[in-house]
Amino acid sequence: MRGSLKLCLSLLSLSAVPGVFASEKQLFERGEMSQPQYTLPPLPYAYDALEPHISAQIMELHHSKHHQAYITNLNAALTRQAEAVQTNNTTSQASLQQVIKFNAGGHINHSLFWLNLASASAPETNSSAAPELIKRIQATWGDEEKFKEAFSAALLGIQGSGWGWLVKVGSGDKQHLSIITTKDQDPIIEKDQVPIFGVDMWEHAYYLQYQNGKAAYVKNIWNVINWKTAEERFAGQVTDPLKTLKDSVWQ
Ligand SMILES: *[C@@H]1O[C@H](CO)[C@@H](O)[C@H](O)[C@H]1NC(C)=O
Ligand SMILES: *[C@@H]1O[C@H](CO)[C@@H](O)[C@H](O)[C@H]1NC(C)=O
Ligand SMILES: *[C@@H]1O[C@H](CO)[C@@H](O)[C@H](O)[C@H]1NC(C)=O
Ligand SMILES: *[C@@H]1O[C@H](CO)[C@@H](O)[C@H](O)[C@H]1NC(C)=O
Ligand SMILES: [Fe+2]
């Protein structure tokens, strides 16, 4: 209950963050609670930009239907959560927390995913766009190819739905790179982990084009990884627009 209240209060502060949710906010009848409304971020490229590696059909469905559904469900759950706080319904608050975590996770993950992809013909997909990150990758895995092999093996090792991420862990002398995978609704990456890039291994990310050819999807994804945004995230130059959401849901 305290947690839910904290969630509610920290969501209030979201209204100060431009671009995080749409301008319309509603005050509930008897309270001060505002209703955050997240909106689907536009893709920074056309649906067919990742062809032939990821088809336009997949990109359109994945973005306009799957990502949108996480946002729609998140907004609905936040509205119901605010109502449950108003009515002191702790049972309802507890069950909504799970729904909020799942859908906030989907919104955060997909928002990152779109930005860590780019057209194979764009200069961003040449790993020379990430000089510092590649140096660290070489120091950690030996060379870029060995890193890709390790990351691909981790992706293919995920049973069922999940994500694979390259993350920067810790800070100062202890800072290092790591490959992590998560399944289904496992908690989102730890607070000391900064995602550099991630790969969606849910079937909806590849099935229409690759069917059960998961390995081909994983092989081809390397052609469309945006190394420029990876370098920026590695350098800590990116302020995560959904950080407040993340901090409020995973306290
Ligand atoms: C909810 O609980 C708070 C404090 O515990 C109380 O002040 C408030 O009147 C309650 N609201 C309702 C609708 O029961
Ligand atoms: C709390 O909310 C749940 C789900 O919305 C509802 O079924 C239940 O009756 C509510 N409990 C109270 C005490 O209002
Ligand atoms: C979002 O990513 C986290 C971290 O990898 C993962 O645990 C969670 O299952 C993902 N959620 C969705 C809905 O994809
Ligand atoms: C990637 O960039 C490097 C350095 O700018 C260049 O030598 C190389 O040819 C590029 N590779 C591709 C596939 O374009
Ligand atoms: Fe997805």
Q: Domain-by-domain residue ranges, the chain?
A: 2-115, 123-239
Q: What is the mean pLDDT of residues 34-44?
A: 85
- Which amino acid residue places its CA nearest to atom 2 of ligand 1? 88
pLDDT tier, 234 (very low <50, low <70, confident <90, very high otherwise) = very high
Check whether domain 123-239 has CATH 3.40.50.2300, yes or no: no
Does the annotation place 110 within a ligand binding site? Answer: yes
The finding on whether 106 has its CB within 6 A of some atom of ligand 3 is yes
Reported as a single tens digit per residue, the pLDDT across 115-135 is: 999 999 999 999 999 999 999
The full 3-state SS of the chain, as one line of letters, equals: CHHHHHHHHHHHHHCCCCCCECCCCCECCCCCCECCCECCCCCCCCCCCCCCCCCHHHHHHHHHHHHHHHHHHHHHHHHHHHHHHHCCCHHHHHHHHHHHHHHHHHHHHHHHHHHCECCCCCHHHCHHHCHHHHHHHHHHHCCHHHHHHHHHHHHHCCCCCEEEEEEEECCHHHCEEEEEEEECCCCCCCCCEEEEEEEECCHHHCHHHHCCCHHHHHHHHHHHECHHHHHHHHCCCCCCCCHHHHHHHCC
The verdict on whether residue 53 carries a ligand-binding annotation is no
| Ligand 3 atom showing the smallest separation from residue 184 Cα | 9
Q: 187 falls in which pLDDT band (50, 70, 90)?
A: low
> Please, which pLDDT band fits residue 83 given cuts at 50, 70 and 90?
very high
For 22-31, 124-133, 181-190, which range has the lowest pLDDT when averaged over its residues?
22-31
Averaged pLDDT for residues 107-121: 96
Does residue 88 line the site of ligand 1, with CB under 6 A?
A: yes
Q: Whose CA is nearest to atom 9 of ligand 4?
A: 126
Average pLDDT over residues 91-117: 94
Average pLDDT for 158-173: 92
Is the pTM higher than 0.75? The answer reads yes
Neighbours of 187 (CB within 10 A): 10
What is the distance in A from the centroid of ligand 1 to the CA of 29?
A: 15
pLDDT at 166: 97
**Predicted pLDDT at 171:** 86
> Can you tell me the mean pLDDT for 92-101?
93
Least confident of 34-38, 86-90, 151-155, 176-180: 34-38
Mean pLDDT, residues 241-250 taken together: 82
Please name which ligand lies nearest the alpha carbon of 181: 3
Check whether 200 is labelled as a binding-site residue: yes
Q: What is the pLDDT, as a whole number, of residue 14?
A: 35
Tell me which ligand sits closest to the C-alpha of residue 58: 5
What's the confidence (pLDDT) of residue 34? 53
For the stretch 188-212, pLDDT in tens is 567 788 999 999 999 999 999 999 8
Under CATH, which number does the domain 2-115 receive? 1.10.287.990
Q: Which atom of ligand 4 has the smallest separation from the CA of 129?
A: 2
Pick the more confident residue, 247 or 116. 116
Closest CA to 101 of 76, 74, 80: 74
